[in-house]
Chains A and B, each alone.
Chain A
Amino acid sequence: AQSVSQHNHHVILSEAASLELGCNYSYGGTVNLFWYVQYPGQHLQLLLKYFSGDPLVKGIKGFEAEFIKSKFSFNLRKPSVQWSDTAEYFCAVNDNDYKLSFGAGTTVTVRA
């Protein structure tokens, strides 16, 4: 079974600051990588995903992530956050058995 590690449990930052959330996974084979966001009181929504091709993936709402295979990492970035980015962010990984393994999540609080 895979494990997924998210480095930060809670991140607090001000509007316009840059955001980077770390994600590492344990599986050494071919993987598909996802970032999901959960706004307060809502279900999970897909921010972006990687399964092949360009390792720099652009998603919705100005987010991007970079897959670095040698580091087993898939870090999420946004150059300038807004108050509305306050949410919980989950990194997830699956190999080809469709089971999605999630990290513990990172709560991001953006102060106006």
Chain B
Amino acid sequence: EAQVTQNPRYLITVTGKKLTVTCSQNMNHEYMSWYRQDPGLGLRQIYYSMNVEVTDKGDVPEGYKVSRKEKRNFPLILESPSPNQTSLYFCASSSTGAGNTIYFGEGSWLTVV
């Protein structure tokens, strides 16, 4: 079954404590991306990756890092989380090519206190 898997699904953490949200896909997709969803703002792209070792900033990259050492994994790193990073995060992947469907993970609820 085609899947994008994120972990953890729910996390409450404290300001400044580094955390990583993992994302893995089993579809051999080249393209992976991270979004955050906030009320009234829809989904905003944080970072994306077109392939292994190729990453680029999206619309709201400040405070986040990513890496793409393997094709299937695309972790999101918050080096020093702050309360304004409290949000619902989605990882997504797709194969390259116009019109290809982007598949989303189930989301990770992150609260920074």
Q: Which A positions have Cβ atoms within 8 angstroms of B?
A: 1, 4, 6, 9, 30, 32, 34, 36, 42-46, 49, 51-52, 90, 92, 96, 98-105
B85-109, CB under 8 A of A: which get 1 and which 0?
A: 0000010101010110110111100
Residue of B nearest to A104 (CB): B42
A-B contacts, 27 of them at CB < 8 A, read: A1-B59, A30-B98, A32-B99, A34-B102, A43-B90, A43-B104, A43-B105, A44-B90, A44-B104, A45-B104, A49-B99, A49-B101, A51-B99, A52-B99, A90-B42, A90-B43, A98-B31, A98-B48, A98-B94, A99-B48, A102-B42, A102-B43, A102-B44, A103-B42, A104-B40, A104-B41, A105-B42
Q: Which residues 7-65 of B sit at the A interface, judged by CB distance below 8 A?
A: 31, 33, 35, 40-45, 48, 50, 58-59
Alpha-carbon distance between A103 and B43 when the two chains are bound, in angstroms: 7
For the A-B complex with A44-B43, A46-B102, A102-B42 known, give 15 more contacts whose Cβ atoms are closer than 8 Å: A6-B42, A9-B40, A34-B102, A43-B90, A44-B90, A90-B43, A98-B48, A100-B33, A100-B92, A101-B45, A102-B43, A102-B44, A104-B40, A104-B42, A105-B42
